[in-house]
Chain A
Amino acid sequence: MPSDTLPAAPGKPVPGAADGSRRRRRGSRSWLGTLPLLVFAAVCFGLPVGFVVYGALTTDQGGATHATGANLSTSLHGAYLGSLTGSVELSALTALIGCVLGMLIAQAVVTSRRGALRESVLTASGVLANFGGVPLAFAFVATLGISGVVTQIAHLGSAGWSLYSFPGLVVIYLYFLIPLMVLVSVPALDGLRPQWREAAQNAGATTGQFWRHVGIPVLAPTLLGGFVLLFGSAFAAYATAAALVGGSVPLVTLKIADALSGNVQVGQENVALALSADMIVIAGLVMAVYLPLQRRSTRWLH
């Protein structure tokens, strides 16, 4: 019954249907505006990515280049595979936690009637979501590191706490993932129209029923999309981990950096490229889920 209200709510006429012919006539020249963007992307983005794929699939032997799957298979064995799964596990776990907590905070902000609270939380989220990388790592070193303030006050060291570990990274990553989720979900929660809730209440639905039949289904694309976005952010993160753990947690980004700078073995550049290609594939799969979801959620929520 509550779901009956859904199709009617975002009723929108199709804009611009009448002037379609005029638009088409002008179309002959206006595509030129997209040219700088497309050329730039081809050179500065397409070329490096092309080199990643090419390098991952070839090997240099005495000046001659051979096509080979060796780099890719090396990147999927032993310590390299461990770093890939380590990254995936860390990203999935932090994204899941960040999704739930971010949504809770967003809901708390949206249902609060204080404009000032809402504004300050959103401003803070905007800043904190971008507060990744090196400064974040150092802030946490000062807080929860070996001689960190909280570590010493609460004697966490003797309790077995270590910031330079998997749980430590989870705590740090959440610091920028939760604000990111807040930013993603506040507009979606705003889009839950009060009329839908009123309609559900008038039809005798409880709060639980409202969420189960209206709220969650409408928000599901946003939730999933947020999860995927968080996963991607955590998966790609390098600076935080590099400034912090320096290799004690197996992460694929750290492995790539090691191989690129020749720290491990000379001639591992192509394995680094293969690992990069692996990352692109994983992130690509994740984004292939995200973009359609985002489109679905905009259908309801704008």
Chain B
Amino acid sequence: MSKSVLILGALSDVGTALARRFAQSGHSVVVAARQTEAAQNLAADIAIRYGTAAKAVYFDALAYDSHADFWAQLSPQPDIVIAVFGYLGNQEEAARNFAEAQRIIHTNYTGAVSILNIAAQSMEQAKSGCIVGISSVAGERGRQSNYIYGSAKAAFTAYLSGLRNRLAHSGVHVLTVKPGFIATKMTEHLNLPPLLTASPQQVAEDIFRAVQRRRNVIYTLWMWRWIMLIIKLIPEGIFKRLKM
């Protein structure tokens, strides 16, 4: 049976890779984003390449008031919802200027809570479904280089774990994804270590498999689990003096 997937933030590199990966295995997809034309092009691309149903819808993570209507007009209701949208922002700017901090927090956390609350409600009633949240290893421990982003992702990780606990009782699957470095538009200007940097396609493949296997939390690439374990084990007294 072909399932329907809703991708929130589908025009990000990972979002696009996910939309294509799920379509490739016969899922119908709804790509949601703010740029309508680019989203329509992506939907057309998916329909032509994979011969599955694909459609584009307008979605703005920060327009909380619109989220209930957004969800109500989806038909059919998606079997799988993936929240990929996020905003890395600029840490230095965010430390000086609250508007930037707010944008980081609201995009990565508040917006996600707003839409996923609605999805959770609906899936809980239906007693089936899957919610995937793309968090980040940056949420595991605050570091001077990106702690505003990291703190928003930490909150999102905690939200997802609570949601998993609640929805387990109605058979709804919640997957937390913690990517490390990914080679995307967002990181194009950074000098990332190639061995630790995943392609959007690799990340999409990992997520696709984790959904099939009903996993709870995955790291991608896998070695980030161990890297973060070490980073978490460094005593605070030492950690605070490191330049990370």
Q: Do A and B come from one complex?
A: no
